[in-house]
Structure 1
Amino acid sequence: MEIVDNKVASVFSASREYPGDHFVFATGHSAYDTYRMLMKYGGRFRIKNFAIGSRVEHSQILINKAQWGVEQLPGVKAAEYRLTGRSGELPVYTFCMCPGGKIVPAAAFEKTNIVNGMSLYKRNGTFANAAVVAAVNLTNLLKKEIEAEEAMEWVEKLEESFYSFTRGYSAPFCSIRNFMDRKGSTPAPETSYPMGLTEAPLWEMLPPGIAESISASLKDFSGKIKGYETGIIMGLESKTSSPIQAVRENGSRLTGFGNLYMIGEGSGYSGGIISSAVEGVKTAMEIIEKS
């Protein structure tokens, strides 16, 4: 970027320069390289609460029977669920439940190992999956004040540790029952995850406090959905949202700049397609009023 009097005059790609009067950064929540660039130029960020955990997988038929009492309902695609738990130190909840879906690799950077989930339109896959994550405030979890850069580094080191364990992109996994008991081994079952599974003591790989809270809540979930404990839990789910948030003023303008707006999930304010779209509309109106 070219900065003149605290305003962005131009941004540069690998191939050309883009001059302008106003600049809108609508990044995703994994754009750590963009965050760091903006920090270098004086943009301000702070930590925020986010969630981290792993992803569970079950037979979709098991979920259908638990929710409906039968394997299929005419005209209905696949059963879903949403669960919350407060048995441990941290609140735990299921996130982005994918009926009839698949678990996919979701690494944003080299030598990191992360998973996510998706469903196709028909939701007719063999498996159901969902993230099971604990809500985290890093200052409370680590018992010290944390800056934005430190928060990103903490997440990155965790993502890198999962890559180092498997030496690639297979997903560390164990059974939900073993995770709850914090012991035992599990032969690799059939899975939707395309990169393969590596047996692992997942309860030791997740940070203290997070692992214990997820374990306690999995016991609760197993009492709510029959057979829940027979599934598997795998990988690191670290991209529910950004661990940091842009410090903004006068709407969505990034503090430190006179004409740069930080919006979308990467800003740390919106949390999905609809809220990001609303931010885009509001910011466009804000710029029009100033023009």
Structure 2
Amino acid sequence: MQKYQAEVFIRQQHLLAEGPFWHADSGILSWVDIFAGQLIESRDGQIIHTWPLGQYAGAAIPTDDGQYIAALATGIYVFSPQSGLRKISQPPLMSENHRFNDAACDPAGRFWAGTMRLFSSGQHDPDSRLYRLGEDGRCAIMREGIGVSNGMGWSPDKATFYYADTPTRKIDVYDYDPEDGSLKGLRDSIAVDGMPDGMTVDAAGRLWIALWGSGAVIGCDPITHEVFARIEVPTPLSSSCTFGGSDLKTLYITTAKTDGDPMSGLIYQVQLPQAGLPGRRCHLSL
């Protein structure tokens, strides 16, 4: 097994950093601090912008025109650094007891986002959902009966969708239709030794999965289910990851704050021999 050690990239402590996204055109890394309700951008290891969003911020994905689609506690919004927030969708059956937790764009630039309970007793009742935002501003329910909706990814050939419902400790594998964005059926499930959180896919089609509570990111072959790599993170609450850098061989890792741990809530990085896939922007015009 390949073994790596993550190093500090951004030393600022966050409550719950999530949703990292690499902007290849500008060299910017962006992410959200969910509990602080902030969207943050950095360049060359220095924070250059911090925007308060006024509510819990599950994720923010850049658009083609310099804005962000943001999955917030009360719905889905467009965020413009110049004009602020504009609500564009209220997902069906999303109650005030739920919030968005993670989001990603599919190969066609459609925006997918999933929910979890706002406050949980630890039992993670399976009453959350995975949504896909359409051109008309309406959200389609793609999956129900979810405990904690988390990481998403698509294979390089655009035919497979990977999805983490954290309490199940597995990655579900679906046949995916890139033309209409539909899921054609559950094809496989990959058991994970830990709590899968955010994830990303490399250029060879392998998964890189942040393990919440384990202080690690693992590399997993989705065909054989082999864990071929492990990245140690010096704090337990590793939350998500994405590839970036000029050659897409730097893996950036977000974490959450743990009381009494000065290494928690930081942004980490590690150099890997394999490249990732470029981040997918949202192509919807809303």
Q: Answer whether TM exceeds 0.5 for this pair.
A: no
Structure whose residues are more often helix by fraction: 1
Structure whose residues are more often strand by fraction: 2
